[in-house]
Structure 1
Amino acid sequence: MKKHLVLLMLALAATQAASAAQIVTVSRFQFGKQWAFAKEEIQLLCRADRSLYALNISTLVQYPLNEKATRQMESGQVKAQPISVILLDDPANPGHKMSLDPFVARAERLCDAK
């Protein structure tokens, strides 16, 4: 009986680990000069429908990273704030914000890893 319980617990842990592949924590340290956010660390997540979000770890506020996620926010399907709220200005391109491309690409890899 105890062996079955242990096996069940291991199976549950493995399932949770597999589902955790949809979220990754990234930091300013990892991206260097490409870092686009006013926060030092964020989580990137891919939902089953391939909508991509950045998540502020300290406040749990979501920010859409792609058009699908933006539509969900605008329609009220998902509680989120516009990504512009946490985007940094691009010092190399005055009047523009930093590019989200590296973060969208990283979040898309989460979708593909499922």
Structure 2
Amino acid sequence: MRNGLFGLAFAGFLSSVAHAAGPQLISADDYGDAWPFTVDEMHLSCFPGDALVVADAETGVMYPLNGTAKAKASALGLEPIDKVWRADPDIAGAKVSLGPVIEQGLPLCK
């Protein structure tokens, strides 16, 4: 029974991956000081249900960008965004806004 449920969950994951929009390569060069990540390049994608995800261009590790992706993080095998989210050099304890990357990614969901 447990293996059957795992198989169904895995099949659902593969189905979601097969229908993902993107990926679109984005980089620190594109954003300058507004780049919100600690790695230089990411692939930006939209998964079914408007789940925006970035993946490290070198390692392939995926991270959620919006609330929808965070809610599906476990099912999609996503790592916490905090692992690659850059600290804001001007505001102690704050992070660089993900807003511009989310705005760029939303059209991928259409």
Q: CA RMSD in A?
A: 1.6
- Aligned partners of 2:63 and 2:78 also within 8 Å: yes
The answer as to 2:92 corresponding to 1:94 is: yes
What is the letter of the counterpart of residue 110 of structure 1? L
> Do the aligned partners of 1:22 and 1:111 also contact (CA within 8 Å) in 2?
no
Q: Could you tell me which residue of structure 1 aligns to residue 67 of structure 2?
A: 67
List aligned pairs for 1:14-53, cutoff 5 A: 22-53=22-53
Aligned residue pairs total 92
Amino acid at match of 2:95: K
Unaligned runs of 5+ in 2: 1-18
Q: What are the residue-to-residue correspondences of 1:5-16 with 2, within 5 Å?
A: none
List structure 1 runs of 4+ shifted beyond 4 angstroms: none
Q: 1:65 to 1:20 in 2, by over 3 A?
A: closer
Q: Aligned to 1:22, what secondary structure does the other structure show?
A: strand
| Amino acid aligned to 1:27 | S
Identity of aligned residues (%): 30
Higher strand residue share: 2
How much does 1:35 deviate? Answer: 0.4
C-alpha deviation, 1:83, in angstroms: 0.5
User: 1:22 deviation in Å?
Assistant: 2.3
TM-score (norm 2): 0.77
How far, CA to CA, are the matches of 2:90 and 2:38 in structure 1? 17
Unaligned runs of 5+ in 1: 1-18
| 1:31 positional shift | 0.4
User: Is this contact kept in 2: 1:89–1:98, CA < 8 A?
Assistant: yes
